[in-house]
């Protein structure tokens, strides 16, 4: 739901800023329960593939030294647990988090999320259209990265704009595998030397889909590993409030410059296809009160197998059953539930018409004359 009025906690937030500092310390300094969504692109722990060094700087000879290996994973796990804990504290009860990673770190991140009480909603595969090949031919082309989408807790009523995503995917429900190109060309930020400004800049298309899917305009989106600010750029375009945390001066500078040039899309274009669930509820009885249907009128089931009559209070009566449009439909079909609105029809000029048409009429009137 769109937050028009800021909550007390949110009013203290440093919105649309890039904060300098260690993300754990910064997050702990912000008010608890104030953020709608966190997007995190943490370090992938790639150093594990290189040489391992002991604290005294001597090189670990072989990796048959299980203790050293474990200690290295343990350090990464500690770091992961700490920033996730700080992130979870910041989230509103219905808040959610996205984390992106590769096989080097995503298993440890996923397990830590579950251990801390986050509730995994989906894992999403970003399938790269143009990945870097495996030059040595020793493994499969590493052509994807993994994202985890999790709510703060199992009971959270997380935001998911199902219908908007279905439209985005040409009328078919969005899947857990997303085909998107990596960040290249004009979108890839360069520093003064012409080198890429950040080694792992994510494409805006990825953040676009994430923010359209799991936030609403006005929501607060925090990114603890802000980098060049892709999360902020897309959030600003889409009319979401962002908070970026980044400890590297160079990245903050690039991100600030980038964000200053971004303009928000106009308000109307930010509207997405609304969920049917959000439409106003119309009691069936109102159709009778308004004379659109009359007591005694006959209704026919969609499959023509059943006939019932309307009563003055908006209940239905059949041969051996009475109750609401839903209850009677469910009973006659032997089904656990039934949407009476789409199940029952009346006859107009000899033709069967779903009663939902009458509901749509009422809703159209309500939209014309609100309240």
Residue with smaller CB distance to DNA, 121 or 256: 121
Taking the complex as a whole, the smallest distance from the CB of residue 11 to its own copies amounts, in Å, to 27
Alpha carbon distance 107, 100 (integer Å): 11
Taking the complex as a whole, the smallest distance from the CB of residue 108 to its own copies amounts, in Å, to 5
Residue with smaller CB distance to its own copies, 14 or 117: 117
Chain positions 178 to 237 lying near its own copies, rule: CB under 8 A, are 180-181, 187, 204-205, 208-209, 212-213, 237
Q: Does 1 bind its own copies (CB under 8 A)?
A: no
Letter string b/e over residues 228-251, b meaning 16 or more CB atoms within 10 A of that residue's CB:
bbbbbbbbbbbbbbbbbbbeeeeb
Q: State which of residues 272, 300, 356, 360 lies at the interface with its own copies (CB under 8 A).
A: 272
Alpha carbon distance 201, 196 (integer Å): 9
Partner residues linked to 298 by β-bridges: 309
Chain positions 38 to 57 lying near its own copies, rule: CB under 8 A, are 51, 53, 57
Taking the complex as a whole, the smallest distance from the CB of residue 341 to DNA amounts, in Å, to 5
Q: Does 87 bind its own copies (CB under 8 A)?
A: no
Tell me which residue of 316, 318, 325, 321 sits closest to 283, measured CA to CA: 325
Residue with smaller CB distance to its own copies, 5 or 371: 371
Taking the complex as a whole, the smallest distance from the CB of residue 138 to DNA amounts, in Å, to 4
Alpha carbon distance 128, 143 (integer Å): 6
Here's the x/- map for its own copies, 302-321, by CB under 8 A: it reads as -------xxxxxxx-x----
Number of CB atoms found within 10 A of residue 226's CB = 26
Residue with smaller CB distance to DNA, 71 or 141: 141
Residue with smaller CB distance to DNA, 11 or 130: 130
Q: Does 165 bind its own copies (CB under 8 A)?
A: yes
Chain positions 140 to 159 lying near its own copies, rule: CB under 8 A, are 140-144, 146, 148-149, 153-155
Binding partner of 115, given its own copies, DNA, none, CB within 5-8 angstroms per partner class:
its own copies
Taking the complex as a whole, the smallest distance from the CB of residue 326 to DNA amounts, in Å, to 4
Binding partner of 279, given DNA, its own copies, none, CB within 5-8 angstroms per partner class:
DNA
Let me know: does 353 contact 345? Beta carbons within 8 Å.
yes
In the sheet that holds 316-317, the strands lie side by side as 322-323, 316-317, 307-310, 298-301, 344-348, 351-354
Residue with smaller CB distance to DNA, 263 or 281: 281
CA dist 39 to 117, 152, 237, 298, Å? Answer: 17, 13, 16, 54
Residue with smaller CB distance to DNA, 34 or 161: 161
Place of tokens 């370090």: 43
Alpha carbon distance 201, 89 (integer Å): 27
In the sheet that holds 241-246, the strands lie side by side as 17-20, 241-246, 220-223, 35-40, 91-101, 144-151, 119-128, 177-180
Q: Does 139 bind its own copies (CB under 8 A)?
A: yes
Residue with smaller CB distance to DNA, 178 or 284: 284
Binding partner of 270, given DNA, its own copies, none, CB within 5-8 angstroms per partner class:
its own copies
Tell me which residue of 30, 164, 150, 157 sits closest to 89, measured CA to CA: 30
């Amino acid at each position: 739901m769109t937050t028009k009025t800021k909550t007390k906690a949110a009013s203290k937030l440093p919105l649309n800023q890039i904060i300098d500092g260690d993300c754990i310390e910064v997050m702990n300094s912000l008010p608890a329960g104030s953020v709608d969504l966190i997007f995190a692109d943490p370090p992938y722990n790639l150093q594990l593939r290189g040489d391992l060094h002991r604290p005294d700087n001597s090189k670990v000879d072989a990796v048959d030294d299980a203790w050293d290996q474990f200690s290295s994973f343990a350090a990464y796990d500690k770091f992961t647990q700490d920033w996730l804990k700080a992130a979870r504290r910041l989230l509103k009860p219905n808040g959610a988090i996205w984390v992106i990673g590769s096989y080097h770190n995503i298993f440890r991140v996923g397990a830590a999320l579950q251990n801390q009480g986050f509730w995994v909603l989906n894992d999403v595969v970003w399938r790269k259209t143009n990945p870097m090949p495996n030059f040595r031919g020793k493994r499969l082309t590493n052509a994807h990265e993994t994202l985890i989408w999790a709510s703060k807790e199992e009971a959270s009523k997380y935001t998911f704009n199902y219908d908007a995503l279905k439209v985005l995917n040409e009328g078919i429900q969005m899947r857990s595998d997303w085909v998107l190109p990596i960040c290249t060309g004009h979108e890839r930020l360069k520093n003064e030397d012409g080198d890429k400004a950040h080694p792992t800049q994510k494409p805006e298309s990825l953040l676009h889909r994430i923010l359209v899917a799991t936030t609403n305009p006005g929501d607060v989106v925090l990114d603890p590993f802000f980098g060049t600010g892709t999360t902020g750029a897309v959030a600003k375009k889409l009319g979401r409030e962002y908070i970026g945390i980044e400890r590297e001066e160079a990245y903050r500078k690039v991100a600030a410059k980038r964000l200053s040039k971004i303009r928000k899309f106009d308000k109307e274009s930010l509207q997405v296809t609304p969920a049917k669930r959000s439409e106003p509820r119309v009691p069936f009885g109102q159709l009778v009160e308004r004379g659109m249907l009359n007591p005694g009128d006959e209704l026919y089931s969609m499959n023509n197998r059943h006939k019932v009559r309307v009563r003055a209070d908006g209940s239905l009566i059949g041969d051996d059953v009475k109750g609401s449009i839903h209850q009677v439909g469910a009973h006659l079909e032997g089904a656990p539930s039934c949407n009476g609105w789409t199940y029952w029809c009346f006859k107009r000029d000899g033709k069967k018409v779903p009663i939902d048409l009458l509901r749509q009429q009422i809703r159209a009137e309500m939209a014309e004359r609100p309240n």
